[in-house]
Amino acid sequence: RSAVHPDATFIEADLADPKAVDAILREHRPQGIMHFASKTLVGESMEHPFRYLGENVRNALNLLEAAVEHGTERFILSSTANLFDKPERIPIAETEVIEPGSPYGESKYLIERILHWLHVTKGLRFAALRYFNAAGATEERGEDHSPEMHLIPLVLQVALGQRESIRIFGDDYPTPDGTCVRDYIHIADLAKAHILALEALADQPVLKYNLGNGNGFSVKEVIETARQITGHAIPAIVDPRRPGDPATLVADSTSIRRDLGWEPSYPT
């Protein structure tokens, strides 16, 4: 709540409560909605598939039903690169075959399919923005993950003495150093993409974009970079692979750059 902009109206509610969601949208009747709320941990979704498939999809349906009922015209879904478990081509474009790598990824794909049918049957305009690895913070708001599960903050916590070591989940992937390769995109650049997509939906009824910088960095490369910048050793422990983790996820964001003029302000 401390991150809410002072000019924004904050309303606390649970998407699992359809009556509350309906009442809020009936009162405010937003023209556009950006849907960020979901469970997002790939490994956890492999352990608790019902929780992820159930809650993510059900909550999105609650929001969408109220949105359509009360006249929302544009809807933006925060989707995921986990739609692409075994891509044939790297970097990954929107034309890549969709094959979710986990119940989390499947839940996002199911919501994309629901949006497709709501566009066909109800005329809802939508954008599915498939994040690769969101990272970074703003000076004004910072970041707050509880519990922390993201690589870069975890690595820096080790450097700050808040953790003894960083865990690497697998070093036997088919990548140059054996660890997973990811494309990191700053949250400010993601926010800019959402604004551009919301505006573009006035003229284009359906948008689907992969969002990343187009450069991949392995887990070991991230750790080594942090060592060089902080001057700390940052001990690392190699654990077995984590179920649901693809070897390499790097985005081809040519489409959104061409169509909407989006450019990352924090290239990697």
Instruction: Band the pLDDT of 9: cuts 50, 70, 90.
Output: very high
Catalytic residue among 52, 104, 184, 209: 104
Whether pLDDT at 147 is above 80? no
Average pLDDT, the chain: 95
pLDDT of residue 145: 67
Residue 109 bears catalytic tag: no
List pLDDT tens digits, range 160-172: 999 999 999 999 9
pLDDT of residue 139: 73
Whether pLDDT at 137 is above 90? no
What is the arithmetic mean of pLDDT over 203-218? 98
What is the arithmetic mean of pLDDT over 239-256? 96
Q: Which of 16, 32, 35, 13 is nearest to 24 (CA)?
A: 13
List pLDDT tens digits, range 66-89: 999 999 999 999 999 999 999 999
Whether pLDDT at 98 is above 80? yes
The residues with which 76 forms a beta bridge, in sequence order, are 34, 127
Distances (CA, A) of 202 to 24, 32, 189: 24, 10, 21
pLDDT of residue 204: 97
pLDDT of residue 10: 94
pLDDT of residue 3: 78
Distances (CA, A) of 90 to 14, 93, 124, 138, 245: 38, 8, 32, 30, 16
Collapsing DSSP to helix, strand or coil, 70 comes out as coil
Contact between 218 and 133 (Cβ < 8 Å): no
pLDDT of residue 173: 97
Sketch out the chain's domains with CATH numbers. Answer: 18-260 (3.40.50.720)
